[in-house]
């Protein structure tokens, strides 16, 4: 098994893979492109089948859901933990008090459901761990701590953590660009890259699900030249360079930049392009991006028309389905169906309380 993967991360804030998991060094032999590195295969034979305290076997799958102390991420974590296939679900949150409360709450509901059964063999461990995806130090701390607690194998990473300036926020467009791209695009890419060695050890069923948005549709871009940068990127660095070219232009020209009138949309456009690219560069892992719809969460100040649990459903399904006829790596999904973000645009998401238009 080989993962032909892009070059070493060049953006300065990308964490270098931390010690304990840095066992997949770039090979000296490069792939067909001089800008790519290849990684040797990962031996999955050492993966232990976990045995519960009463000696019964339990499924040993592990999932991490970022930004899961509230909103859509909370429900994704809950749905995955309730599914019965995972031994551990980690709520990776930047506020540990909120993360612990959320983990306890999910664990309590699982306990209630399991009360009539042999809970020892069935119940999933739900645990909070500290992670701020916009902080490289936090990522560098998170990964070795994850390995120390749970081993070096990961089955599912759901990149749900994200932010959007409110429509009423007086911060100028150009000043919103960098924090939005830093969190939604760069943070997503950085934590994914840091955990990629663990995902590769997860074997062919391992998945990355990126919670994106239809706001990241290519139609937000002002020209075909700009669209091409997202449809034909050579490697991750190319997408990242495009994202920060947009940021630099936006900081100088505001909405008159040559890319788009939306910071949030740009950040999600980058995430969608990254997802499609990684499905080509690293086919050993399943990759998908999705839109949850306009959900009733803190991001939308409670104005979303969908319950957060309904918005979470497609991400949970993408993380867990073994229906190969319905799941295609690299795709963009909404309501469990593949499609282009352009389809069925939801103007409510674009113009409402979130400052997705800026």
Span near ligand NAP by CB under 6 A; candidates 23-31, 82-90, 91-99, 324-332: 91-99
- Taking the C-alpha atoms of residue 335 and residue 312, their distance in angstroms, rounded to an integer, is 10
Closer to ligand NAP by Cβ: residue 106 or 133? 133
Closer to ligand NAP by Cβ: residue 17 or 162? 162
- Taking the C-alpha atoms of residue 78 and residue 86, their distance in angstroms, rounded to an integer, is 11
Backbone angles phi and psi of 66, in degrees to 5:
-85, 150
Is there a contact between 288 and 205 (Cβ–Cβ < 8 Å)? no
DSSP string, 30-54: --SSTT-EEEPPP--TTPPPPB-TT
H or E element in which residue 229 lies: helix 224-231
341 is an interface residue for ligand NAP by CB under 6 A: no
Cα four-point dihedral sign 51, 56, 57, 61: negative
Min. distance of Cβ 220 from ligand NAP in angstroms? Answer: 14
292 is an interface residue for ligand NAP by CB under 6 A: yes
124 is an interface residue for ligand NAP by CB under 6 A: no
Q: Which residues of 263-283 are buried (b: 16+ CB within 10 A; e: fewer)?
A: bbbbbbbbbbbbbbbbbebbb
161 is an interface residue for ligand NAP by CB under 6 A: yes
Closer to ligand NAP by Cβ: residue 87 or 354? 354
Site string for ligand NAP, 195-214 (x = CB under 6 A): ----------------x-x-
69 is an interface residue for ligand NAP by CB under 6 A: yes
Neighbours of 97 (CB within 10 A): 10
Min. distance of Cβ 71 from ligand NAP in angstroms? Answer: 2
**Using only C-alpha atoms, what is the Rg of the chain?**
20
Closer to ligand NAP by Cβ: residue 126 or 349? 349
Pick from 297, 314, 355, 358 the residue near ligand NAP by CB under 6 A: 297
For residue 52, give the nearest of 121, 116, 111 by alpha carbon.
121
Closer to ligand NAP by Cβ: residue 161 or 282? 161
Pick from 50, 59, 95, 166 the residue near ligand NAP by CB under 6 A: 95
Residue showing tokens 């920060």? 244
Closer to ligand NAP by Cβ: residue 120 or 298? 298
Residues that bind ligand NAP (CB under 6 A): 66-67, 69-73, 94-95, 98, 131-134, 160-163, 183, 187, 211, 213, 291-292, 294-295, 297-300, 304, 308, 349
């Amino acid at each position: 098994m080989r993962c032909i993967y892009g070059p070493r991360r060049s953006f300065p804030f990308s964490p270098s893979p931390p010690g304990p998991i840095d066992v997949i060094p770039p090979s000296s032999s490069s792939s067909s492109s001089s800008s790519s590195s290849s990684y040797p295969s990962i031996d999955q034979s050492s993966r232990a089948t976990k045995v519960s305290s009463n000696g019964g076997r339990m499924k040993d799958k592990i999932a991490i859901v970022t930004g899961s102390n509230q909103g859509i991420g909370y429900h994704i974590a809950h749905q995955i933990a309730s599914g019965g296939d995972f031994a551990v679900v980690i709520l990776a949150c930047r506020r540990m008090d909120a993360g612990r409360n959320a983990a306890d709450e999910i664990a309590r509901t699982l306990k209630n459901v399991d009360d009539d059964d042999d809970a020892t063999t069935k119940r999933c461990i739900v645990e909070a761990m500290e992670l701020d995806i916009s902080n490289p130090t936090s990522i560098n701390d998170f990964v070795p701590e994850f390995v120390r607690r749970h081993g070096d194998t990961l089955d599912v990473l759901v990149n749900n953590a994200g932010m959007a300036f409110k429509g009423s926020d007086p911060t100028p467009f150009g000043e919103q660009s960098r924090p939005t791209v830093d969190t939604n695009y760069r943070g997503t890419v950085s934590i994914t890259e840091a955990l990629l060695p663990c995902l590769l050890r997860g074997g062919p069923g391992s998945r990355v699900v990126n919670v994106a948005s239809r706001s990241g549709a290519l139609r937000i871009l002002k020209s075909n030249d700009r669209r091409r940068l997202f449809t034909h990127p050579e490697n991750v660095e190319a997408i990242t360079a495009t994202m920060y070219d947009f940021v630099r232009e936006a900081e100088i020209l505001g909405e008159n930049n040559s890319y788009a009138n939306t910071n949030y949309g740009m950040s999600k456009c980058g995430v969608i392009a990254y997802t499609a690219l990684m499905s080509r560069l690293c086919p050993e892992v399943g990759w998908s991006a999705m839109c949850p719809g306009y959900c009733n969460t803190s991001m939308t100040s409670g104005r979303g028309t969908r319950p957060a649990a309904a918005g979470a459903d497609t991400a949970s399904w993408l993380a867990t389905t073994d229906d190969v006829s319905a799941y295609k790596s690299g795709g963009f999904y909404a309501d469990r169906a593949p499609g282009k973000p352009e389809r069925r645009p939801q103007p409510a998401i674009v113009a409402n309380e979130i400052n997705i238009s800026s």
